[in-house]
């Protein structure tokens, strides 16, 4: 059995986008653009040379279903609620575009 090993994260930033789906009639981030927001962020990462430096992950419930879709950004310790496809561009402007513009080492940009 392999021993657990603690390491520093290989990513400059990690986005957690709630994509939790609840039963019919209950609020959930999946029904509030969570999946589409995750795909929009991933698309930007992939097309701007940030793959391997930035990770966009779908997450389970963050316990703020009524305020969804929810996105957490680390290590920035930022939480966004009420994220829509339109407002996802603000997250890109604040957290991803600066990485491209400042040529993060190892991104090839």
Q: What tens digit of pLDDT does each residue of 16-30 get?
A: 999 978 777 777 788
Going 85 to 90 to 93 to 96, the CA torsion angle's sign is: negative
Categorise residue 5: left if φ over 0, alpha if ψ from -120 to 50, beta otherwise.
Answer: beta
Entry pTM: 0.85
Two tokens at 24?
């019919």
pLDDT at 33: 87
At 41 the three-state DSSP class reads helix
Find the mean pLDDT for residues 43-54: 95
Characterize 9-33 residue by residue with b for buried, 16 or more Cβ atoms within 10 angstroms of its Cβ, and e for exposed: eebbbbbbbbbbeeeeeeebbbbbb
Banded pLDDT at 109 (limits 50, 70, 90): very low
């Amino acid at each position: 059995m392999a021993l657990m090993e603690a390491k520093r994260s290989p990513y400059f930033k990690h986005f957690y986008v709630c994509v939790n789906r609840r039963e019919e009639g209950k609020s959930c981030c999946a029904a509030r653009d969570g999946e589409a927001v995750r795909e929009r962020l991933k698309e930007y990462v992939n097309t701007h040379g940030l793959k391997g430096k930035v990770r966009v992950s779908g997450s389970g419930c963050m316990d703020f279903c009524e305020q969804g879709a929810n996105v957490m950004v680390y290590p920035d310790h930022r939480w966004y609620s009420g994220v829509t496809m339109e407002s996802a561009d603000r997250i890109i402007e604040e957290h991803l575009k600066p990485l491209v513009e400042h040529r993060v080492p190892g991104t090839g940009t």
